[in-house]
Amino acid sequence: MRLLIIIILLIIAVSGCISQIESVCKGKAKCFTADMEEIIDGDTFLVGNEKIRLSLVDTPEKGEDGYQEAKDFILSTCPLGSEVLVDQDDIQLYSYDRIMAVAYCNGKNLNEELLKNNLGKIYTDFCSKSEFGIDKWAKDYGC
């Protein structure tokens, strides 16, 4: 009887964790986890085989001031090989060949972290064109 209770509690605990991961993603567009393969700049990475562009955030391009800082910040927050959870933007699905998304790594929302650490600017023009424009972090930084 006690064993049965333990098994039931374990099942509840495990299913709780699974639904927590699923509940992180919003909407019906792509939602997946894969390893951080390459950091192109602060707002663009290769996750698994997919090129990801963070929604609503703009970090400096190569050759611009702040490029290396933003890139290094992502590298330290989410080292190569870390698992990244990608929640694709349900309104702006793609930009060029890149998946627009919020990316979570090591428990952190990378879009938010870049803004919080003043390493990127919010793209206010896209606040109404992004699934995430109404999120608290986006509003906190200017949407």
Q: Which residues bind Ca ion (CB under 5 A)?
A: 26-27, 29, 87-88, 90
In the complex, minimum distance from the CB of residue 74 to Ca ion, in angstroms, rounded to a whole number: 21
Q: Which is nearer to Ca ion, 29 or 99 (CB)?
A: 29
In the complex, minimum distance from the CB of residue 139 to Ca ion, in angstroms, rounded to a whole number: 17
Q: Which is nearer to Ca ion, 30 or 67 (CB)?
A: 30
Q: Are residues 122 and 115 in contact, defined by beta-carbon separation less than 8 angstroms?
A: yes
Query: Shortest Cβ contact with Ca ion: which residue?
Result: 27
Q: Which is nearer to Ca ion, 26 or 121 (CB)?
A: 26
In the complex, minimum distance from the CB of residue 128 to Ca ion, in angstroms, rounded to a whole number: 16
The enclosing H or E element of 74 equals helix 67-77
Enter the DSSP assignment of 79.
-
Q: Which is nearer to Ca ion, 104 or 141 (CB)?
A: 104
Judged on CB neighbours under 10 Å (0-12, 13-18, 19+), 26 is middle
Q: How many residues does the chain have?
A: 143
Complete DSSP assignment for 5-62: HHHHHHHHHHHHHHHHHHHHS-SSS-EEEEEEEEEEETTEEEETTEEEEETTEE-PPT
In the complex, minimum distance from the CB of residue 69 to Ca ion, in angstroms, rounded to a whole number: 28
